[in-house]
Structure 1
């Protein structure tokens, strides 16, 4: 099935009438019979931990114990295990690999490969413990390295795929986002499949007007705040890569598709809960931020079930992470 199929918006033969209940996805690209961790989906949790300021900024790295990369340095990271939340996994990995206890402050980035591999990179802060010095199967050691040395190839790294995460963490920290609210952390809610929500936002050139594409049942900001799932949503199967889903849905939703809307650059909400261990609902729902190009006129909508509304209240824009200056975790489709 190559075309995006529009569903009828019905659930068990009845229209959705209750607020704060997930809307039946109105686009379909395949379907997962089940989603179970380490069976057909994998989640990885990673931590970026910094200390000091300016040229003295250091990052906490671990020395790998794995045979394939033994002795090389990398960020604390590991697979999420069935029966734990994403946040619990990153706290566990930091403790096992570095010796430190930590608090999870913010999601920095979501990296997606295909449709069954997701890496969550968090900004974390040390709360206790001692630097690991005794090797074990988790890591050989942990050490603080100057950020410039790591970026300047002066440290033997397992890979350089996390360098941009260091840049994002340093910017997040220096921009004063540490106390920003609301934070974007995974919502611990079981998801029976793979879902993608498109929050397509258009900012006027003068920055005074913000519009967003929503379901036609959303008449105003009050409806937007009350509705659990106000944006165009697609359910997809493992046979479709995440980037392919984006491309097909763009063409389905808007007349000019990717010509008028940038590729999704950030995430604003994630639902994922790989608990309990025996559950078949270890899936994920990702809400992505899609910025309409300011240089073009407002896109013509292909589907009659959506329309544009203006979001006038700053508080509402901030709640949905629509503000241009607001922090949003980055999205990287590998």
Structure 2
């Protein structure tokens, strides 16, 4: 007689996983390979997910940290979804490189906001995490000293601007909505005339994924966030789940990383995924639990998403809207 598997209720948060910016970035690499053949070069991880990066490597993408690792020639070079400092495309132009910018349009929006504030004579505060590629790219849009990074309310308390009446703030797109709210409130209290974005900088996908994990956290014994350790939005999901009522929340890259010793006795499990984690890894995690538990799955949807971003004009196929016009032969 076989031992009966323990029952486990799995709540799948929705939306989860890939956002429109990540889909566009991956599509850019795959379309460049389709149109131009192997190899194409990608500066930094196209998105923060090892599985995605390894998959693209197998298809012919070569990942580099800096442009000086790319040999001279006409091979395409792609900039990651997180955005790059202005010095990077300038260096690419100097070398006559064929480059494609996979920066998420919502990150580009923040770049444009920063440039507009700077042109209007404002000193800029960026709410974000030091060392994150998006922060490096945003701060690199303007001359040194034009943007001051604040990571928490203590940084706000210590910050003294040149002119408190000519101050504006922008934010990294992948932050915790709740944590950022506190920092913004601290800025607005200390600097009542500070200018904020016309529309919140934190992207729709980050907000939606945080709201969806909040909706399941308090009924779960454990919440697993499928994502990469260097993915800001994935790390924020873990924090949000803990704050929303599930102290036993953790990040896993894939099923093989699950620590089964901490799963003893759980009866309810929440699963979500960061914006750069593919659904195949979520399915892999659910299947791993099916091997050890009698699993019933309930999807908890808090929002429908239908956002789509177009590919760069150079990569659109003939006949697609906005495709380059071919000269008659």
TM-score by length of 2: 0.24
Structure that is richer in strand per residue: 1
Larger Rg over CA atoms:
2
- TM value normalised by structure 1: 0.24
Structure (1 or 2) with the greater helix fraction = 2
